[in-house]
């Protein structure tokens, strides 16, 4: 019996002495693999494409990412992850299209017999007044909508409205536009020249007041005439290669308001500042 008690006490001592050793061994293993230090850095992403999904980085990399402003993000990650994140940003910047400034001017020319599509728009064109001018900054390889128009409201139609001991008319309001509307696509630059495709219209609308006996008989709604619209349009299209900072003629069409005259569209492209 005594021998059995001694054996149990010895076993207890062995176990109690082994526990601290195991604990120290666990601490040794834990300290041998310390957690990587987290660094917090702020990045400027203002030059990335507007539709860039920044959340994809947090899903694919061991980083914590939060947006501070529309152009700044804060990232918490180990140093090596920061380097990978920075490299990914640079790759996106390389793949993203450059920005370009596109300037368009539409000139009324009395005699355009000496002008040709593709030639520089020099003093011979600039001496004529510009009917329209529009400038836009956008990305290459995208459709740039360049619009310079005015809209005029007019009475397009009327609907009779009849009530108790009263009658009137409910006018339908339409809009007529006058101006220049272009869609411009600029390709990547090679040796200082860029492929450019232009499509669009120049439209001019005029209104003629047209009285009707029916409306003249009832002025309850304050409507005594309808308007008739007349719209003339000229298609503008061209596809050519332009040199940077060189105004170039891209389209020549007849001027609907000046018999024998022409509308000449000139385009200039330049790297965005």
Helix (H) or strand (E) holding 29: helix 2-32
Determine the Cα–Cα distance for residues 203 and 257; give it in Å rounded to an integer. 11
163-175 pLDDT per residue, tens:
777 767 777 888 8
What pLDDT score does 210 carry?
61
Res. 179: pLDDT tops 70: yes
pLDDT band at 160 (very low <50, low <70, confident <90, very high): confident
58 confidence band (pLDDT: 50, 70, 90): confident
Among 13-17, 197-201, 257-261, the least confident range: 13-17
Nearest to 251, CA basis, from 101, 116, 108, 111 = 116
* pLDDT average, residue stretch 19-31: 46
Residue 144: is its pLDDT beyond 80? yes
Which range, 14-18, 126-130, 154-158, 259-263, is most confident? 259-263
Q: What is the mean pLDDT of the chain?
A: 81
Reply yes or no on whether the pLDDT at 7 is more than 80: no
pTM over 0.75: no
pLDDT classification of 34: cutoffs 50, 70, 90: low
pLDDT > 70? residue 24:
no
Q: What is the pLDDT of residues 186-239, one digit of tens each?
A: 999 898 899 999 999 999 888 776 644 444 444 444 555 666 778 899 999 999
Residue 134 in this model has a pLDDT that exceeds 80: yes
Q: Are 227 and 155 in contact (CB under 8 A)?
A: yes
Tokens of 211: 């009285």
6, burial (CB in 10 Å: exposed 0-12, middle 13-18, buried 19+):
exposed
């Amino acid at each position: 019996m005594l021998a059995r008690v001694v054996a149990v006490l010895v076993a207890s001592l062995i176990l109690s002495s082994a526990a601290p050793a195991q604990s120290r061994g666990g601490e040794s293993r834990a300290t041998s693999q310390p957690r990587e230090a987290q660094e917090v850095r702020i990045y400027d992403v203002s030059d990335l494409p507007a539709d860039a999904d920044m959340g994809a980085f947090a899903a694919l990399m061991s980083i914590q990412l939060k947006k501070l402003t529309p152009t700044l993000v804060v990232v918490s990650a180990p140093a090596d992850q920061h380097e990978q994140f920075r490299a990914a940003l640079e790759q996106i910047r390389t793949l993203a299209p450059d920005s370009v400034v596109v300037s368009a001017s539409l000139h009324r020319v009395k005699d355009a017999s000496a002008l040709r599509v593709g030639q520089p728009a020099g003093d011979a064109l600039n001496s004529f007044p510009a009917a329209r001018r529009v400038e836009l900054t956008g990305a290459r390889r995208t459709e740039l909508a360049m619009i310079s128009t005015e809209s005029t409201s007019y009475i397009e139609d009327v609907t009779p409205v009849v009530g108790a001991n009263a009658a009137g008319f409910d006018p339908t309001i339409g809009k007529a536009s006058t101006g220049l509307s272009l869609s411009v696509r600029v390709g990547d630059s090679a040796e200082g020249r860029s492929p450019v495709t232009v499509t669009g219209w120049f439209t001019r609308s005029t209104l003629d007041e047209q009285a009707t006996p029916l409306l003249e008989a009832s002025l309850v709604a304050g409507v005594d005439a309808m308007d008739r619209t007349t719209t003339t349009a000229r298609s503008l299209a061209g596809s050519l290669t332009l040199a940077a900072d060189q105004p170039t003629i891209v389209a020549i069409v007849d001027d609907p308001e000046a018999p024998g005259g022409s509308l000449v569209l000139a385009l200039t492209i330049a790297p965005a500042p």
